[in-house]
């Protein structure tokens, strides 16, 4: 499908590859020296063989079993399968127990890892190992707490992950996803249901994410990292970062609301050329709003909105910033320097664009602080 782009940039007007630029439309605001299209890198996971595992435990489990585990350190791999059982394996000769609470098939299972076979923790304790592999029923709800290590979960229903240090990869979750990561990247693909992704120091990526029920929402946030979304079909989509870029690629849901914000970075939306939406874009400190879409501004739009809209009509170059924000102020008149005279307040420079493209089926709220 041929895509146009709605772009909120904060540096150059549009800095895509020449062949892509010829096929794109843009709304943007600018404030850095360069904008590059993100190139996705694939993570590779080493697959362990049966010979790699020293300890194994199994327990019969219900199709919708609730599974939980906590690791102080070590990698975790959880995958769904068609069997009605939970299987846990370790590469080291640590102690390993599946606490099923006595019921069979188990409806709740806690995976517990110990330093050795003689030492055991109370429920809720966090053990350590180099690698823990779990196979669970596909309808399982999985909760993982990992303090140091890579976490990978695929082919289950509900996923809840808290990680302090390490990357998190989620694939093919069928009902819901909630991930928080202090130091590491978050990657989500081919999943369904409501989504909450939050990283402090790391990037957030999501591809091909669908809704399960009406009202499912999608939210991705990062403090220091990029937020990249592709093929997200939710009608409520939010993306925010403090120090990083926000990128959205794909079609808009009818009646969808999209809220993307950054403080130090770019906001870019790449949309099909027949997209219909209302636009509310704002740059608080410095930058431009640039669009190749024919935005019809509202009667209440500010003068800066009108200027941005007319300058960004097809065939016209985007309007650049009116001047450097941090340029020195001119000298004050002599009377302003006298005692008792207050300096006039310095108003922050702002650029706004409010308007409609087509019939306004979607609602876009873009902001650079």
Q: Domain limits of the chain?
A: 1-38+245-369, 46-166
Structure tokens at 86: 């939970």
Structure tokens at 169: 């990869």
Is residue 83 a contact partner of residue 138, using CB atoms and an 8 Å limit?
A: no
- Tell me the pLDDT of the chain (369 aa) as tens digits: 444 555 544 332 223 323 333 344 544 444 332 223 333 334 444 455 555 667 899 999 999 999 999 999 999 999 999 999 999 999 876 788 999 987 789 999 999 988 766 565 566 678 888 899 999 999 999 999 999 999 999 999 999 999 999 999 999 999 999 999 999 999 999 999 999 999 999 999 999 999 999 999 999 999 999 999 999 999 999 999 999 999 999 999 999 999 999 998 999 999 999 999 999 999 987 778 888 899 998 654 444 444 344 334 333 444 333 334 344 545 555 554 555 556 665 655 678 899 999 999 999 999 987
Please state whether 193 falls in left (phi above 0), alpha (psi between -120 and 50) or beta.
Answer: left
Prediction pTM value:
0.76
So what's the pLDDT on residue 289?
Answer: 85
Is residue 146 a contact partner of residue 161, using CB atoms and an 8 Å limit?
A: yes
Rg (CA), the chain: 25
> How far is 360 from 31, CA to CA, in rounded Å?
28
Is residue 27 a contact partner of residue 290, using CB atoms and an 8 Å limit?
A: yes
């Amino acid at each position: 499908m041929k895509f146009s782009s709605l772009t909120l940039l904060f540096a150059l007007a549009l800095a895509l590859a020449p062949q892509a630029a010829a096929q794109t439309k843009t709304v943007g605001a600018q404030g850095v020296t360069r904008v590059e299209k993100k190139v996705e890198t694939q993570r590779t996971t080493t697959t362990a063989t049966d010979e790699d595992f020293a300890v194994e435990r199994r327990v019969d489990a219900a199709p919708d079993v609730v599974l939980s585990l906590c690791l102080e350190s070590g990698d975790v791999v959880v995958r769904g399968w068609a069997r009605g059982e939970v299987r846990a394996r370790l590469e080291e000769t640590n102690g390993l127990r599946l606490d099923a609470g006595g019921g069979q098939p188990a409806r709740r299972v806690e995976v517990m890892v110990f330093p050795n076979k003689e030492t055991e923790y109370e429920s809720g304790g966090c053990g350590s190992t180099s690698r823990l592999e779990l196979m669970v029923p596909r309808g399982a709800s999985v909760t993982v707490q990992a303090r140091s290590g890579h976490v990978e979960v695929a082919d289950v229903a509900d996923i809840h992950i808290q990680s302090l240090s390490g990357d998190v990869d989620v694939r093919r979750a069928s009902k819901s996803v909630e991930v928080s990561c202090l130091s590491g990247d978050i990657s989500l693909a081919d999943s369904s249901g409501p989504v909450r992704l939050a990283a402090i120091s790391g990037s957030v990526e999501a591809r091909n994410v669908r809704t399960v029920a009406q009202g499912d929402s999608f939210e991705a946030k990062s403090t220091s990292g990029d937020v990249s979304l592709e093929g997200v079909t939710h009608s409520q989509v939010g993306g925010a970062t403090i120090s990083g870029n926000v990128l959205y690629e794909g079609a808009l849901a009818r009646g969808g609301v999209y809220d993307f914000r950054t403080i130090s970075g770019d906001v870019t939306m790449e949309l099909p050329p027949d997209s219909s939406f209302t636009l509310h874009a704002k740059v608080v400190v410095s930058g431009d709003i640039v669009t190749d879409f024919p935005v019809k501004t509202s009667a209440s739009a500010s003068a800066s909105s009108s200027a941005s809209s007319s300058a960004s009509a097809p065939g016209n170059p985007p309007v650049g910033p009116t001047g450097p924000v941090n340029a020195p102020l001119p000298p004050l008149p002599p009377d302003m320097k006298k005692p008792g005279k207050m300096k006039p307040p310095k108003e922050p420079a702002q650029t706004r664009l409010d308007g409609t493209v087509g019939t306004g089926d979607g609602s876009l709220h873009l902001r650079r602080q």
